[in-house]
């Protein structure tokens, strides 16, 4: 029996990954695709379709628009922001530049009954981000909501289950956003029966079918993503899987030994490759963060290719790529925020039959849930994320062995103080080395040393995050220890920036 799903058609908006999250929170499977043909859309057989926001204008010559045939499929369609304008444009309505653009929190009011707004307060706050607006609805559409500057803030053709909202219900700033998505799921007639246990069973079966008797090499970092990917593959192909852990010299203090110890208890073909000098040599003199990521991504692949040749004819390379990696590396016409070493950082040529990414459409919290379904121990499932490029992107500017040791020591002190304080709710916390030197005083003498930046964030999906408010006494103890115990550091800063506008990592 085919799995019911809602299709998200991506037009390049900055919040599109959140749309998938909101649907999945309702226990409905969801996929995000860009510029699909009608043949592919029909093959996916969606229970409903969501048209996302995007940076374009529908009347621009190069704008992406949904095919008009999409509205003859007989399934509910929800247009969001640009997606609402695209729906209006394709179906014969009118879209023009707004006389007053709307950005941020906006007072919103429903003006007629609607299944989409069932249980939604008549007046509430929504999140707007648009310069165009719908000035005339298509035939048979009625306006269902308004704002002070947008007479058609929502519209619908209830008979055909076509709905459009000018605002972004997927972001937390839209107070009734979750309810709106829940209503759309009901309109689509979804049974809400998609669970992570289903994902695990289905994925193992798909991997068995895809790989058959082929040999598989898994890039295992010890983090939750690659660990879950490894166990999925182990259950699918058994002894045909080899897990390769690359110590690229950019790990946290004592991490290589800890990873090796953790996986010694698993029935996996585990290989450790010590390649620290090799990676540092490749990074010598490189300061641009995108170049660093791409160099690290390519070197990982070269190491895996060499291991593959030694163990003999490996067909598939498995990576623990997750959805935030894909989004930030650019999806369709979406902006590239930063190339992840395992996505946008891959070289043009990879000497494997195929790269397999079984977690590619999962968010971090979903990966953790899958890990629990697979029986992974909690210390791995709840392990704090660590980026594939490691300290290479927590050292601003050129990476050297001296800088690596400096940030390793500072990071170990910070993590130790957080643990001693019993702070458990943080999603991620670490020390980074800025490229700034400043004057200090130690032992009645002048110093001119580096500044360390401490960071801690709260997030569920790692697509958005807010800076955690660490107690001052904890930060003070960590800062005092770092400047006294780590030679070369005379200043400690705390990063209190959210994501966006910042990213969680520094580069």
| 391 in Cβ contact with 276 (< 8 Å) | no
Q: Residue 473 and residue 477: Cα distance in Å, rounded?
A: 6
Q: Residue 344 and residue 293: Cα distance in Å, rounded?
A: 9
Nearest to 71 by CA among 38, 98, 111: 38
> Which residue among the candidates 89, 130, 168, 340 is catalytic per the annotation?
168
Q: Residue 36 and residue 55: Cα distance in Å, rounded?
A: 19
Residue 150 backbone dihedrals phi, psi, to 5 degrees: -140, 95
> Which residue among the candidates 30, 81, 190, 243 is catalytic per the annotation?
81
- The structure tokens listed for 141 are 């559409």
Q: How many CB atoms lie within 10 A of CB 477?
A: 17
User: What's 81's DSSP letter?
Assistant: T
- The structure tokens listed for 7 are 């299709």
Nearest to 242 by CA among 325, 326, 306, 197: 306
The single residue listed with the structure tokens 């390519």 is 298
Tell me how far CA of residue 461 lies from CA of 9, 368, 381, in angstroms.
Answer: 20, 11, 15
Q: Cα(first)–Cα(last) distance of the chain, in Å?
A: 44
The single residue listed with the structure tokens 């991620």 is 428
| 429 in Cβ contact with 475 (< 8 Å) | no
Q: Residue 175 and residue 71: Cα distance in Å, rounded?
A: 29
| 342 in Cβ contact with 388 (< 8 Å) | yes
Q: Residue 420 and residue 184: Cα distance in Å, rounded?
A: 46
Per residue, what are the HEC states of 453-472? EEEEEECCCCCCEEECCCCH
Tell me how far CA of residue 218 lies from CA of 25, 40, 353, in angstroms.
Answer: 30, 30, 14
> Which residue among the candidates 102, 170, 176, 357 is catalytic per the annotation?
170
- The structure tokens listed for 63 are 């704008």
Q: Residue 212 and residue 192: Cα distance in Å, rounded?
A: 32
- The structure tokens listed for 500 are 């966006």
Q: Residue 122 and residue 366: Cα distance in Å, rounded?
A: 33
Angle among Cα 366, 192, 10 to the nearest 5 degrees reads: 65
The bridge status of strand 466-467 relative to strand 445-458 is: antiparallel
170 is catalytic: yes
Q: Residue 232 and residue 122: Cα distance in Å, rounded?
A: 47
- The structure tokens listed for 454 are 């401490």
Active site residues: 81, 168, 170
């Amino acid at each position: 029996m085919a799995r019911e799903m809602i299709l998200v058609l991506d037009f390049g908006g900055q919040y599109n990954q959140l749309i998938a999250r909101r649907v999945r929170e309702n226990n409905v499977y969801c996929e995000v695709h860009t510029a699909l043909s009608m043949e592919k859309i029909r093959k996916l057989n969606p229970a409903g379709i969501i048209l996302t926001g995007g940076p374009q204008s529908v009347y621009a010559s190069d704008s992406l628009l949904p095919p008009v045939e999409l509205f003859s499929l007989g399934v509910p369609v929800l247009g969001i922001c640009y997606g609402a304008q695209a729906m209006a444009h394709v179906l014969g309505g009118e879209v023009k530049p707004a006389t007053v653009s709307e950005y941020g929190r906006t007072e919103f009011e429903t003006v007629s009954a609607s299944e989409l707004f069932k249980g939604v307060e008549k007046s509430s706050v929504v999140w707007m981000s648009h310069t165009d607006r719908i000035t005339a609805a298509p035939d048979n559409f009625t306006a269902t909501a308004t704002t002070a500057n947008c007479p058609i803030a929502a519209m619908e053709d209830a008979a055909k289950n076509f709905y459009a909202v000018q605002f972004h219900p997927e972001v937390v700033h839209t107070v009734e956003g979750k309810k709106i998505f829940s209503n759309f799921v009901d309109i689509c007639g979804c049974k809400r029966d998609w669970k992570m246990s289903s994902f695990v069973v289905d994925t193992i079966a798909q991997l068995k079918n895809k790989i058959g008797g082929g040999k598989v090499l898994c890039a295992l970092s010890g983090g939750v993503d690659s660990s879950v990917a490894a166990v999925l593959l182990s259950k699918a192909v058994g002894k045909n899987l080899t897990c390769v852990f690359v110590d690229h010299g950019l790990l946290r203090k004592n991490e290589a030994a800890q990873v090796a110890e953790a996986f010694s208890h698993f029935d996996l073909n585990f290989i450790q490759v010590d390649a620290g000098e090799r990676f540092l040599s490749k990074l010598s003199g490189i300061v641009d963060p995108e170049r660093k990521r791409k160099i690290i991504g390519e070197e990982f692949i070269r190491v895996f290719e060499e291991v593959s040749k030694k163990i003999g004819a490996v067909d598939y390379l498995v990576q623990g790529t997750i959805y935030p990696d894909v989004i930030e590396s650019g999806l369709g016409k979406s902006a590239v925020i930063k190339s992840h070493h395992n996505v946008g950082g891959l070289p043009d040529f990879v000497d494997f039959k195929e790269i397999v990414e079984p977690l590619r459409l999962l968010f971090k919290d979903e990966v953790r849930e899958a890990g629990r379904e697979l029986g992974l121990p909690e210390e791995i499932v709840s392990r704090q994320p660590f980026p594939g490029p490691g300290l290479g992107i927590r050292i601003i500017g050129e990476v050297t062995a001296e800088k690596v040791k400096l940030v390793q020591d500072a990071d170990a002190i910070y993590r130790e103080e957080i643990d001693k304080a019993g702070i458990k709710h943080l999603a991620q916390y670490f020390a980074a080395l800025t490229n700034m030197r400043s004057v200090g005083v130690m032992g009645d003498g002048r110093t001119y040393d580096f500044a360390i930046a401490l960071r801690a964030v709260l997030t569920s999906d790692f697509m958005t995050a807010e800076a955690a408010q660490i107690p001052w006494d904890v930060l003070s103890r960590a800062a005092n220890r770092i400047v006294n115990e780590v030679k070369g550091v005379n200043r400690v800063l705390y990063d209190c920036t959210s994501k966006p506008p910042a990213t969680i990592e520094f580069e």
